[in-house]
Amino acid sequence: MKVELDANGYYGRFGGSFVPEILHRNFEELSKCYLEIINSEDFKEEFDMLLRDYVGRPSPLYLAKRLSAEIGAKVYLKREDLNHTGAHKINNAIGQILLAKRMGKTRILAETGAGQHGVATATAAALMNMQCVVYMGETDVERQFLNVQKMKMLGATVVPVTSGNKTLKDATNEAFRDWCNHPEDTFYIIGSAVGAHPYPDMVARFQSVISEEIKKQLMEQEGRDYPDYLVACVGGGSNAAGTFYHYLNDERVKLIEAEAGGLGVDTDKTAATIYCGTEGILHGSRSLVMQDEDGQIIEPYSISAGLDYPGIGPLHAHLAKTGRAEVLPINDDEALKAAFELTKIEGIIPALESSHALAALHKVKFKPEDVVVLTVSGRGDKDMPTYIKNFNV
Ligand SMILES: *Cc1c(COP(=O)(O)O)cnc(C)c1O
């Protein structure tokens, strides 16, 4: 079965657009114009130039020899950790702000959990000289001091959110509320492949530069433009969507997704949305959601702030339910172990999110000749406090 988005913004049963009346026109406008704008020569030229000269793309595809020996397959790392601001999120933030500019918007909104998307968006806003407001749960504001200071230094206004659990879901709700009050001049830059149509598709397209580069780089290094396996972690699913994008309908390529198991999928401390979630609507689209019988969100938990989200992008719900992708829940301790392993044998300190993907390598039975490409979505600088606490584990 072909993986594709239908005219209403659905991947199979998942996706669509469930938005408040007042934003209906914004979504209509965006759905109508986004493809034309992002496929225009003028847009592509500016986007490609910024990805190259500002973000530092292409990111290297690195054959990790010692990791390969450990895993028993040929493992390549797609180094999104080397991007400006330290993760894949900047690809999407720049894509969306260029779109906002062309739509005549002057004010940028974003939500952020750990602060990574907030920093990427504040960076893009500084670059484009646009006003930027970032909503962030109060709990996260306290936990992520450095990212909050970075956003401020970049000129963004950080608004602490005190509703609900004071984390990412609540920040997203508040950002939506703000947008409802300023539908004319404001553009909402969502940080992952989630939300109402056309956001999941738009974000996947901006991140698809990852698999576009993998194709070229594999051709140069392996003499064929596809791997046997692609491996990525999923929070909302943007780095995974970008990694899989040009291979979604290439059956030769097996897709592996690592989601955050937290303390275990059979405990109440987990963020394994695909494993534990049920069908529902969250932040504008139908997908898998961690919810109770009354449809109330169950607070997710993961050691990694970037995977700590109670939903999942509709593409990934579809890939999992149709069996196109294999989803592996990875627990906190497994992710930590994989982070220390990569650091020790390859000299690369990965983000905790990416460490979930690395841990998944140990759960797949590879053949020695298999070519595996794993996306290192970000670098571990932001996770040092957590790593320090766990030095002796
Ligand atoms: C935000 C983040 C993620 C999770 O987001 P996706 O949209 O699922 O990619 C993964 N890795 C890093 C480094 C992040 O900052």
**What letter would DSSP give residue 281?**
E
For the question of residue 78 being annotated catalytic, the response is no
DSSP string, 42-75: HHHHHHHHHIIIII-PSPPEEE-HHHHHHHTSEE
Distance 243 CA to ligand 1 centre (A): 12
Residues in Cβ contact with 332 at an 8 Å cutoff, skipping those fewer than 6 apart: 260, 261, 262, 263, 302, 303, 304
Tell the residue nearest (CA) to atom 10 of ligand 1: 353
Amino acid, res. 28: E
Which tens digits make up the pLDDT trace of 46-75?
Answer: 999 999 999 999 999 999 999 999 999 999
Indicate whether residue 87 lines ligand 1 (CB < 6 A).
Answer: yes
**How confident is the model at residue 305, as a pLDDT?**
86
Please choose, from the candidates 83, 90, 174, 94, the residue with its C-alpha nearest in 3D space to the C-alpha of residue 130: 94
Distance 234 CA to ligand 1 centre (A): 7
- Provide the token pair at 345: 């044998």
Residue among 111, 259, 334, 353 flagged as catalytic: 111
Residues in Cβ contact with 320 at an 8 Å cutoff, skipping those fewer than 6 apart: 257, 274, 288, 327
Please choose, from the candidates 283, 264, 332, the residue with its C-alpha nearest in 3D space to the C-alpha of residue 304: 332
**How confident is the model at residue 46, as a pLDDT?**
98
Tell the residue nearest (CA) to atom 2 of ligand 1: 306
For the question of residue 377 being annotated catalytic, the response is yes
Indicate whether residue 234 lines ligand 1 (CB < 6 A).
Answer: yes
**Which residues of the chain register pLDDT less than 50?**
none
**How confident is the model at residue 1, as a pLDDT?**
81
**How confident is the model at residue 393, as a pLDDT?**
62
Indicate whether residue 195 lines ligand 1 (CB < 6 A).
Answer: no
> Considering the chain, what is the average pLDDT of its residues?
96
Question: Do 85 and 120 meet the contact criterion of CB atoms below 8 Å apart?
Answer: yes
Helices (H), the chain: 24-38, 41-50, 65-71, 89-102, 116-128, 138-143, 145-153, 168-181, 199-207, 209-222, 238-244, 273-276, 314-321, 332-346, 352-360, 384-389
Tell the residue nearest (CA) to atom 4 of ligand 1: 235
Residues, the chain, total?
393
Distance 235 CA to ligand 1 centre (A): 6
Which ligand 1 atom lies nearest to the CA of residue 354?
11
Distance 237 CA to ligand 1 centre (A): 7
For the question of residue 211 being annotated catalytic, the response is no
HEC profile of 203-226: HHHHHCHHHHHHHHHHHHHHCCCC
Indicate whether residue 237 lines ligand 1 (CB < 6 A).
Answer: yes
**How confident is the model at residue 143, as a pLDDT?**
82
Which strand ranges, in their side-by-side order, compose the sheet holding 325-331?
A: 61-63, 74-79, 371-376, 229-233, 254-262, 325-331
